[in-house]
């Protein structure tokens, strides 16, 4: 049975390719989903890919992942820097959490330097654009392989 990974995307990521392409690139979220699905399949991982502009929906998605997924990849967008509630939900998840950001949040505005999500994550990947999702899948694959060895 393939491992299941939820990939959760937060506010405004539905506008990728249109919104600030000089920061976030020209790829759409659909492009990222296609790449992630293809790469996950090559690793024997099934993914559940979601996006919401609503904090509560993302919290519900984390709750849904409990008991179903081995890992969560989360790009919480702006909620990264503001949502203790999302952090609490991620802390209730007993699998692996990897944080992803398209841009390098540490090279941006000061308020973006703090991540609540990082406190629930085994690691954070930022600044590599959409390739960050691939790197996160590779990291999760390695973690799961080591855990089953």
- Residue 129 pLDDT level (bands cut at 50, 70, 90): very high
The answer, yes or no, to whether residue 99 has pLDDT greater than 80, is yes
Instruction: Identify the pLDDT of residue 109.
Output: 78
Domains, the chain, ordered by start = 3-148 (3.40.50.9100)
Instruction: Identify the pLDDT of residue 51.
Output: 98
Is residue 101 annotated as part of the catalytic site, yes or no? yes
Is residue 116 annotated as part of the catalytic site, yes or no? no
Q: At what angle do helices 55-65 and 84-91 cross, to 10 degrees?
A: 10
Terminus-to-terminus CA distance in the chain, angstroms?
16
pLDDT per residue as tens digits for the range 71-92: 999 999 999 999 999 999 999 9
pLDDT per residue as tens digits for the range 17-68: 998 888 888 999 999 999 999 999 999 999 999 999 999 999 999 999 999 9
Percent of the chain clearing pLDDT 70 (strictly above) = 99
Instruction: Identify the pLDDT of residue 1.
Output: 55
Q: Which of 101, 116, 133, 141 is catalytic?
A: 101
Q: Residue range 92-100: average pLDDT?
A: 98
What is the helix, strand, coil percentage profile of the chain, to 5?
A: 50, 20, 30
């Amino acid at each position: 049975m393939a491992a299941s990974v939820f990939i959760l995307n937060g506010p405004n990521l539905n506008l990728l390719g249109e919104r600030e392409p000089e920061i976030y690139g020209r790829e759409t979220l659909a492009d990222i989903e296609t790449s992630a699905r293809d790469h996950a399949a090559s690793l024997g991982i099934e993914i559940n890919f979601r996006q919401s502009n609503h904090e509560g929906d993302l919290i519900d998605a984390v709750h849904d992942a409990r008991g179903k997924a081995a890992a969560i990849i989360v790009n919480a967008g702006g909620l990264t820097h503001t949502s203790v509630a999302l952090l609490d939900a991620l802390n209730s998840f007993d699998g692996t959490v990897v944080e992803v950001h398209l841009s390098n949040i540490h090279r941006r505005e000061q308020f973006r330097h703090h991540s609540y999500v990082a406190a629930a994550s085994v690691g954070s990947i930022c600044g590599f654009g959409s390739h960050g999702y691939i790197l996160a899948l590779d990291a999760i694959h390695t973690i799961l392989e080591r855990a089953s060895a």
